[in-house]
Amino acid sequence: MNTDNTDLKEMNENEPIKMRKLKDFSDGSKREKAVLSAVSIALGIVIWYLITLVPTINTFLASPKQVINELITQVNANGRYFKDIWASLQRVLVGFSVAFVAAIPVAFLMGWYPKFRALVEPWIQFFRTIPPIALIPLVILAMGLTETEKYTIIFIAAFLVMVVTIYQGIKEVDKTLVKAAYTFGATDKDLFIHIMIPSAFPYILVGARLGIAASLTTLIAAELTGTIFGLGARIMLAQKYMQVSLVLLGIITIGIIGFIFDRILLFAEKKLTKWK
């Protein structure tokens, strides 16, 4: 019995230890990522084309060829397509920019002053659960069918997302750094500038990405009323006249704009947070 246990122990000791390969969480090489992205897009277009070969589906989902033909028609027509893009871009950028400028100080005040947080946070959480589209009737009554009304709807959606994200970054600041700073005699000003802002900076950029996404998703709702130009208005008008290819063209355009904005902010995040 003891001999068997000894032999088994010697066998286990003689066996080489297998090292587990660590999970790779990196993005991989740029070339590999580009190839996979291209394959993914091509595969998606092929699947889209095959689905639209079904006649019943093609009645509500235009094929890639139909959308391309619609794009050519819109570009060669009267320039309406580009006017719609510019009008929507202007609304998104104005609403998002004002929300971004407002969200940063509010989030820092919430993280810095507990009394301010106790006063403001319940309202932030309350309005965050309400879809911005539900506020449209009240905003229209208060501001009328103007551009300001559209900016306001987009502002609300982007502001609530960003202020919560940035505030979360302030809460996640390393308390060891704070204690060390106080130990070396740092003032509140030093603590704010050299610890709080750098710690929250990555969250500010993430909040900006979420904010621009919220702005674009709210764009359609903001353009439902009181406007002639805009991708949302164009989609609603095309839906009214059963122009399926034009509806899909508007949706794809919004998606492409959102993707470009996200890539720009992601690039800025990588460049500005290399110290992480």
- What does the pLDDT read at residue 10? 54
Contact 239, 247 (CB under 8 A): yes
Residues of the chain with pLDDT under 50: 1
Determine the topology of domain 84-231 in CATH. MetI-like fold (1.10.3720)
* CA distance to 110, 113, 272, per residue, from 120 (Å): 8, 11, 30
- Per-residue pLDDT tens digits for 163-214: 988 888 877 776 677 777 667 666 767 677 777 777 778 888 888 889 888 8
Q: Could you tell me the residue ranges of all domains in the chain?
A: 84-231
* CA distance to 27, 59, 118, 122, 245, per residue, from 168 (Å): 25, 46, 15, 15, 42
- What does the pLDDT read at residue 128? 82
Contact 153, 222 (CB under 8 A): yes
- What does the pLDDT read at residue 250? 87
- What does the pLDDT read at residue 25? 55
126's tokens:
């309350």
- What does the pLDDT read at residue 111? 80
- What does the pLDDT read at residue 188? 67
- What does the pLDDT read at residue 99? 92
- What does the pLDDT read at residue 275? 57
Q: At what angle do helices 244-272 and 64-76 cross, to 10 degrees?
A: 90
In angstroms, rounded to a whole number, what is the distance separating the alpha carbons of residues 72 and 61?
A: 18
